[in-house]
Amino acid sequence: MTDVPAWITDAAEKAGRSPVPPAMRPPRNGGRRAAVLLLFGEGPAGPDILLIQRSSTGRNHAGQPAFPGGGVDPDDDGPVGAALREAAEETGLDPEGVEVLGTMPELYLSHSDNRVTPVIGWWHTPCAVHAASPDEVESVERVPVAELVDPANRFKLRHPSGFVGPAFRVRGLLVWGFTAGVLDGMLATCGFEVPWDRSRIEDLPPDVVNLASR
């Protein structure tokens, strides 16, 4: 078991007060409640975060790297319960090994009509994880923060719609969209971010566009 470090408790407190971009402010009514788990831990290469690669044959966000998570069910204890349950179902994670430190403000994804609450956790007792739900998850990775903040792995991606956002290329994963946006902000809040070339812009690969549009 590892103690919760001050950097993540401080970051969780700050993230809980982070402003919501206008385009992601939830509507007054409607939208499906969902949650994702931002699970930080201490791995062989230092601090890391748990990411999944969604199945290329899945119905939602096919082929995309993401945080574990999904819809909030009636039996869940709100977003926190949903994030832990989904992470357990997708990766085999033992929720007893996680200390939940807080939540970020709800973010609205208009293209999927989801109201997503990011839940921040510390993995004090790590366990083995794997693609526990093959129909939904292709692989599971503990990605070191050092690789995420490496300027060589950071750039921006341009979507065919014209939207340009942060992206990461790590461990064979192309992390973009909602997941990259939340990661970008969280890494800065944690104090890990180092200068990188923000003028480096690439187009979203056609095969990724095709999967994402299914």
Q: Is 170 a residue whose pLDDT tops 70?
A: yes
Measured distance CA(112)–CA(140) in Å, rounded = 23
**pTM of the shown model:** 0.94
Question: pLDDT tens, 83-133?
Answer: 999 999 999 999 999 999 999 999 999 888 999 999 999 999 999 999 999
How many angstroms separate the Cα of 70 from the Cα of each of 81, 96, 185? 11, 19, 21
- Tell me the domain boundaries of the chain: 6-145
**How far is CA 138 from each of CA 72, 87, 114, rounded to the nearest angstrom?**
22, 14, 22
CATH class, domain 6-145, is alpha beta
